[in-house]
Amino acid sequence: MRILLVGAGGVGSAFAAIAARRDFFETIVVADYSLERAEKAAAQDERYVAAQIDASSAEAVSALVRDHGITHVMNAVDPVFNMPIFNGAFEAGADYLDMAMSLSKPHPTSPYEKTGVKLGDEQFAVADDWATAGRLALVGIGVEPGLSDVFARYAADHLFSEIDELGTRDGANLVVTDDDGNEIFAPSFSMWTTIEECLNPPVIWQDGEWHTTAPFSEPEVFDFPEGIGPVECVNVEHEEVLLMPRWVDCKRATFKYGLGEEFINILRVLNTLGLDRTEKVRVKGVEVSPRDVVAAVLPDPATVGPRMTGKTCAGLWVTGKDKDGAARSTYLYHVVDNEWTMREYGHQCVVWQTAINPVVALELLARGTWSGDGVLGPEAFDAVPFLDLLTEYGSPWGIKEL
């Protein structure tokens, strides 16, 4: 297996650190718009090679694939670049993985009731082309989407005979401080992506169809395990809701995230001021995207690890009937402690938790344990080998009855 890793930011660098401890691949070409950043990530393993890439160019992706004999393209950049990377991999004959799917567009007249272009629609539209070519695009294989989708497959196969709701619930008790120990606002993940998913209309799967609701709707307090505790969660647009019902039979699918009141208020202000916009505006002779500016002035998520404390939890709350027909309510989860990931890998827990899942998936593909063609989500594969290998990597998952 020869991998092209597109993106050497927080998640990409964590991916490189995790993969360096495994032997399932021959080489990884670490590519980034910043060659310096790519070289830094590539320096940790003799099997790694650094390269510069323009992720907005399918031709540039195809050229790197061909030049290095790449078999699998791993997309670790913001989803705005998904389609060029996705198309470039296909054109050059490589398989493809990503951790977030092609972007959505709200319904033009009823954005908080009806779906417009849904997350992943552009990719699923060409699924037949990938299948005909015998190529695999494994989409949404980060942590969310990704691990929760694996949990959905596991729950359907081993825990439930009938599923009422697949409810992804994510929360954390992470705190970032400045040099004087004062708590500061510093997102632990890409601010560009966070704005995108939190301000778009959330999608809900209900009784055989998708519909939308208003951002931050249906707040609920969810009690997260392993000391994190109660966190208020709200509806957020996310791929799980678009993926799970394609392969797992359920009456309802939701995604709720513990953003916190401060973060929600900041996002609302950005929206009110138009600072969430991606369209460029002209400022003193220079054209800039307001969202790019917001992301640029905040601390880089890859650098906040040393000043962060706490844990992050990703999981799936499943309700329905167990294999004997009795009512069951179960939370399948994965908790990661920032102190541990910083000590063991030198990367903060949120990007590390995101990055470990595609590494596990690639190892399963290299072994032949997972295989397929077309555009497939994690739900399309056997969950047990994935969860076993995740535990072998030193990061076990858990189950809590509710």
Residue range 244-293, pLDDT digits in tens: 999 999 999 999 999 878 888 888 888 898 988 888 999 889 898 998 89
From the list 165, 157, 344, the residue with the least C-alpha distance to 256 is 165
Q: Binning pLDDT at 50, 70 and 90, where does residue 18 land?
A: very high
**Concatenated DSSP letters of 27-66:** EEEEEESSHHHHHHHHTT-TTEEEEE--TT-HHHHHHHHH
Predicted confidence at residue 198, as pLDDT, reads 84
Q: Binning pLDDT at 50, 70 and 90, where does residue 44 land?
A: very high
- Rounded distance, CA 381 to CA 134, Å? 17
pTM attached to this predicted model = 0.93
Question: Which token pair is 156?
Answer: 């359907």
Q: What is the DSSP letter of 248?
A: S
C-alpha torsion sign, points 61, 65, 68, 71: positive
Q: Do domains 2-138 and 147-352 have the same CATH topology?
A: no
Residue 267 contacts residue 282 (beta carbons within 8 Å): no
Predicted confidence at residue 299, as pLDDT, reads 77
Residue 147 contacts residue 141 (beta carbons within 8 Å): no
Count the residues in the chain.
Answer: 402
Residue 341 has pLDDT above 90, yes or no: yes
Residue 62 has pLDDT above 90, yes or no: yes
Say how many Å lie between the first and final Cα of the chain, rounded: 42
Residue 186 has pLDDT above 90, yes or no: no
* Residues contacting residue 123 through CB under 8 Å, at least 6 positions apart: 82, 83, 86, 101, 102, 137, 139, 375
Q: Lowest-confidence range among 153-162, 221-230, 278-287, 386-395?
A: 278-287
Q: Lowest-confidence range among 25-29, 150-154, 173-177, 224-228?
A: 173-177
Going from N- to C-terminal start, the domains of the chain cover: 2-138, 147-352
Residue range 216-233, pLDDT digits in tens: 999 999 999 999 999 999
Question: Which token pair is 311?
Answer: 């844990």
Residue 237 has pLDDT above 80, yes or no: yes
Q: Which residue has the tokens 């196969």?
A: 157
Residue range 106-142, pLDDT digits in tens: 999 999 999 999 999 999 999 999 999 999 999 999 9
Predicted confidence at residue 278, as pLDDT, reads 87
Q: Binning pLDDT at 50, 70 and 90, where does residue 51 land?
A: very high
CATH 3.40.50.720 fits 2-138, yes or no: yes
From the list 113, 85, 90, the residue with the least C-alpha distance to 101 is 85
Where does 147-352 sit in CATH, by number?
A: 3.30.360.10
Residue 160 contacts residue 251 (beta carbons within 8 Å): no
The mean pLDDT value for 197-223 works out to: 94
Residue range 63-88, pLDDT digits in tens: 999 999 999 999 999 999 999 999 99
Three-state secondary structure of 69-102? CCCEEEECCCHHHHHHHHHHHHHCCCEEECCCCC
Predicted confidence at residue 264, as pLDDT, reads 83
Query: Rounded to 5 degrees, what are φ and ψ at 115?
Result: -80, 150
The mean pLDDT value for 370-374 works out to: 97
Range list of H helices, 227-300:
239-247, 261-273, 290-297
